[in-house]
Amino acid sequence: MKIVLFLNKDLQANIAYNLLKSELLKHNVRIYYSDTVGNSNNKPSDLIKLEYYEKGFLFGKLSKFINKNKIDHSFEFFDSNFKSFPFEKSSNVNSVEFINEVKGFNPDLFISIRFGKIFKDEIIKVPKNGLINLHSAILPDYRGIMGTLHAIKEKKSKIGCTLHTIPNSGIDTGEIIEIATLDINPEKSLFWNIIQLYPLGTELILKNLKIIEHNKFLKTQKQNLQEGSYFSVPSKSDFEQIESLGIEIISIEDYTHVLTNYILKDLSEIDRVQLINFIKSSW
């Protein structure tokens, strides 16, 4: 199939891409990325810190450290060494120029993971099999940004991710394809709990890619949009409520665990120690 992947250039989408990569290599793929989600003004300090370790540190200091020390690994970073597929930034997915460019590719499917732009009707019409999105929260309960934060804040026992269609410009209002859930781990940080959703989510994508590939229709269920809530960029108070439950926003232990178990899991023991020491010195 001809697939266009729309991603955000951050740690979560980079993990998802690598989990999908072996399947994507069987297809003709193009990747377009965004590098922001939501309004960039007046973000609380906890969100700024999260975004730094999800983007700035990952693709800056860490990537340079790995390259400088010639640390051998199989993870493909969204950096200057990325080469498996065409990979470029998309500033305006709804422009006439971009739509014409993508039409020329004649895509079968669009897949969106954390992409920071809103798709409008004309671009949505382009792929033969539509546009599917991986949303890192349970729908319809938590539409919008960082639904997992709000689920934990509300003392839910489970968090989850939703694979759904995007039939129009509504935000997280499409039909639900499938939902995967897991128990919240209150001993771990908000960051750690969020990361766990992406291996689950990529399994949903892989499963439903096979269905589409065999020319079968996806079974979907309409959302009751009278239920649930839409959440914008989280506030300082939202993060304070998480911390009041005894849950850290992000910790060096959890960040190191994610890097060494999801990203650089095939390191030699010498490289692993070197990496851990570098993270500690940069925290």
For residue 113, what is the enclosing H or E element? strand 109-113
At 266 the pLDDT is 83
Query: Which residues sit opposite 183 in a β-bridge?
Result: 158
Q: Which residue has the tokens 């001993």?
A: 187
CA dist 14 and 171 (Å) reads 22
CA dist 240 and 248 (Å) reads 10
At 38 the pLDDT is 63
At 279 the pLDDT is 93
For residue 21, what is the enclosing H or E element? helix 11-24
Closest CA relative to residue 218, chosen from 160, 142, 166 = 166
Domains observed in the chain = 2-282 (3.40.50.170)
| Residues 126-171: tens digit of each pLDDT | 999 999 999 999 999 999 999 999 999 999 999 999 999 999 999 9
28-37, 153-162, 170-179: least confident range: 28-37
